[in-house]
Structure 1
Amino acid sequence: MGVLPAQAASGATNAAGGDDVTYKVIPYVISDPDLVAHPERVIKELNRSGGSLDALGVAPATKDGPSKITKSKAAQGVDAQAEPESYVVDSSRFPAGRIPDDIYDYPTSDQCEDQYDLASRDQGWIKNRYSYCQIHLLVMPAVRCGIFPPRCTTTGVFVSRNRLMGFGKVGGAEHASTSRWADFRLQVGVIQATGPFAESGADLTAEIECEGNYLDDDYPQTDENACFAGLNDEVEKPIGEWRRDGSAHLDLLSQASSPDAAMGEQIGTGVFHIEYDFDLPWYFQFIDTESPEGGMRFDSAWYLQSHKLGSVFDRAVPGMSYTKSDAAVGGVATHLEEARANPAATMPTQADKHLAGGSPGDPIHRLAQAKGDKQSFRYDENRRIVRNFCATKAMQDLKASLPADQGPYDCDEYPMASTYEGAGRHLFPDEPYGGTQYERHYSARWVNSEVNQEAGRRLGRWYDVDRLLDQDAFYIPIR
């Protein structure tokens, strides 16, 4: 029997039956919440149709990627104006600016399953900066097609529900201390394996692959070293063994030099996927196909405080929330919420003022003053502009009218000085996120000093722990 992808089905013949019978395996990799939740619908349609999922709106996978879905609720409900993928952690995770005992806060497999409606999309579910989860169906019908008469019947089916969980890391890999790395756990849950997939000698290999790129064109490494499979690059098992133990441990590496300002941030990006490779007895060739792609970023940012190198899943806009009912930061939370809701009413007054940072689609960007002189100077200018404005008679009169027993007070500013959208952005028209049109596009308000400083401590530690680099986009929702 011959094995050919659906797009190249001709030429495989039954040695015993002559040229009137062909055998093929049609690969499907399905990431759609409706079908992932109901694999029995897929199996039923395969048996009914002779190996086609056209009626479900599912096209076969190709060498270029997973199956295209056209009829699902998820596909039909795509909103071109939808917010970008994002995640949010509450600022209470960083009290007094402390590093959490567990900086990763990885999801458990149960939490990943609880989010299956998000995880079973192509982009998967990103719980936080260090966590990735994607769930998909791997479907392989084996089909026997006769030429006279022209009819196909399914001779066997492989169906599994697979969960890939990724774990970003800080610090270097054990065997290469300057290399960044990430850990992955694949769980292959075999639902059905019949026909050739149930025969002795039928194997399945799961291999992690990554296409890498260094953002600095002058970086002295080839792009292949920006993201590549590590020592745990593949797992091969007989299909019967996958039934008994569906787990696979895989990892990725990104080569770098020691963190140093002279080397820059050494940012490497990676687009990864799992390649599935079947080896079936008596078949002329094996079939491989790919899981949905995920994305990563590796960096060696020497200016971060606690960990100078690490890896994160960067296909989600990071968010840190302030909660109004949290007394430690409530005053700042109220300031941000009210200022963004009515910018024209904030001080200093400016009719066309816009204050970004309230949603992932309208983010602000980190200004890492420790990165270099340019960043430090712009940060200082942000602070100088606000300090001078807060010293004006109008602001001092407002301060004098506040209850003395709720002070002392700081002049809180939004967007913060640690952002490119800070008060001085109009002074930098030729630099990122600058422009003369942004003069007075900030809000200043008197807030209890300890509340203001606690909000700042939490923000600074979040930058550090979640590896927000200079110019990284983020947002601050208010709860």
Structure 2
Amino acid sequence: MISHFQYCSVKKQAFHWVDSTGKIVGTTSYVQTTAGQAPQDYREIYYQTNLGYFDVVGYSADLPFAVVGTTAGDSGPNGSNPPCGVINSANNPKTLAQWRANGNAVAVSVFDQNKSLAVGRDFVSRCPVATVTAPGTLDYMDAVTGIRLDSASYLEGTVGSGIFDRVTPNLTYSTSSTAHGAVAAHIFTALNNPGATTPVVAGKSIPGGTADRPLTRLYEGWDAAAASQRQKNITAKDNACAPIKPADSTGLDCDEFPFGATREGPAAGSNFSVKYLDSSQNRSAGGTLGTWYTKDRILHKDKFFVKITP
């Protein structure tokens, strides 16, 4: 797994040939490489699989050797959907000899599902997907992961898109950014030295810096409860900012982390930080968050974490 939009699996597979007595008389090994891509504005996921670097020791036979995609349905947090559809390429080499003769050959599989079969207001479909290499009775499953298709109205695109959903996405800010480096520095301190942040709370531990302590998107347009939680985050931030407001706050905003657009924002408890920063930097960072939510397809209640780079 690489990201929401790219997947890669490279594995070496080997199988043995046996005679009628069960004695091993040969071994065939190869490297299977699968590259997956989630194109924008399509409810589809593409797989391309290559079999190469064959090593044959002893006996081998030219048996059927097709690579096909396989999928199933899911009962997830959004509800239950049937198996995704899968279309396998017709030019997939069908025998072991054909794969060995064409080192550039690939098998293509496309996974999709019409939104009419999806669930919830975001039209979500979740499916485990994999490739199956089928040398007769020696079926081998590889490139196993999960995909999610959605058509959320508040994300990018008019049709929807797909992602690889077995990865916790991360938003990256840089402390060297001229646009929002001050915000990145504030987040870095909040995550790595929370005792030095405001408000001062003994034992403060601020989430959001790792996949095992993620943040959760709060889309205030989801319903009245989400809008209320967003407003509570704003109020809690303002209350924490009031005692530290500079006498001259011209050109300054009070920045908060975790973000107000998350369930872990200031209203969630004492594990947050506020700091007055340059207004343009604060608003740039907020714009980056909103754009990333949309482009990386972060649904309401999706988990993510924040990385700070130099």
TM-score when normalising by structure 1 = 0.59
Query: Is 1:298 paired with 2:149?
Result: yes
Shift of 1:349: 2.3
Amino acid corresponding to residue 250 of structure 1 in structure 2? S
Shift of 1:395: 1.6
Which residue number corresponds to residue 319 of structure 1?
Answer: 170
Which residue number corresponds to residue 14 of structure 2?
Answer: 139
- The equivalent position to 1:186 in structure 2, one of 43, 49, 70, is 49
Measure the CA separation in 1 of the matches of 2:53 and 2:175: 47
- The equivalent position to 2:101 in structure 1, one of 228, 241, 244, is 244
Query: Is 1:207 paired with 2:68?
Result: yes
Which residue number corresponds to residue 201 of structure 2?
Answer: 350
Measure the CA separation in 2 of the matches of 1:171 and 1:160: 35
CA contact (8 A) 2:233 2:266 kept: yes
Query: Is 1:419 paired with 2:276?
Result: no
Shift of 1:214: 4.7
Shift of 1:466: 0.6
Measure the CA separation in 1 of the matches of 2:79 and 2:53: 46
Amino acid corresponding to residue 473 of structure 1 in structure 2? K
Query: Is 1:472 paired with 2:305?
Result: no
- The alignment partner of 2:307 has SS state of coil
Measure the CA separation in 2 of the matches of 1:340 and 1:188: 44
Shift of 1:456: 0.7
CA contact (8 A) 2:68 2:107 kept: no
Give me the CA root mean square deviation. Answer: 2.6
Query: Is 1:269 paired with 2:126?
Result: yes
> CA 1:326/1:362 → structure 2, altered by over 3 Å: closer, same or farther?
same
> CA 1:258/1:371 → structure 2, altered by over 3 Å: closer, same or farther?
farther
> CA 1:139/1:330 → structure 2, altered by over 3 Å: closer, same or farther?
same
Measure the CA separation in 1 of the matches of 2:255 and 2:173: 14
Which residue number corresponds to residue 289 of structure 2?
Answer: 459
Structure number with bigger Rg: 1
Measure the CA separation in 2 of the matches of 1:234 and 1:343: 57
Query: Is 1:223 paired with 2:223?
Result: no
- The equivalent position to 2:244 in structure 1, one of 377, 395, 406, is 395
Query: Is 1:163 paired with 2:33?
Result: yes
- The structure where strand makes up a greater share of residues is 2
Shift of 1:182: 0.5
- The equivalent position to 2:231 in structure 1, one of 376, 380, 394, is 380
- The alignment partner of 1:230 has SS state of strand
Shift of 1:332: 0.3
Measure the CA separation in 1 of the matches of 2:15 and 2:267: 59
Could you give the per-residue CA deviations for residues 423-452 of structure 1, whole angstroms, max 9, x where no partner exists?
122xxxxxxxxxxxx2x3321100101111
Which residue number corresponds to residue 273 of structure 2?
Answer: 443
Amino acid corresponding to residue 111 of structure 2 in structure 1? L
- The alignment partner of 2:74 has SS state of strand
CA contact (8 A) 1:214 1:267 kept: no
Measure the CA separation in 1 of the matches of 2:234 and 2:91: 52
Which residue number corresponds to residue 129 of structure 1?
Answer: 4
Shift of 1:340: 2.3
Shift of 1:275: 1.1
- The equivalent position to 1:152 in structure 2, one of 23, 32, 36, is 23
Shift of 1:348: 2.0
Could you give the per-residue CA deviations for residues 79-131 of structure 1, whole angstroms, max 9, x where no partner exists?
xxxxxxxxxxxxxxxxxxxxxxxxxxxxxxxxxxxxxxxxxxxxxxx222100
Shift of 1:181: 1.2
Where structure 1 has 5 or more consecutive residues not aligned to the other structure, the ranges are: 1-125, 173-179, 280-285, 426-437
Shift of 1:170: 3.0
Shift of 1:327: 1.7
Identical-pair percentage: 24
Measure the CA separation in 1 of the matches of 2:156 and 2:238: 27
Shift of 1:318: 0.8
- The alignment partner of 1:475 has SS state of strand
Where structure 2 has 5 or more consecutive residues not aligned to the other structure, the ranges are: none
Shift of 1:223: 2.1
CA contact (8 A) 1:329 1:452 kept: yes
Could you give the per-residue CA deviations for residues 261-280 of structure 1, whole angstroms, max 9, x where no partner exists?
x941232222111111124x
Measure the CA separation in 2 of the matches of 1:217 and 1:317: 17
- The equivalent position to 1:278 in structure 2, one of 135, 141, 162, is 135
Aligned residues: 307
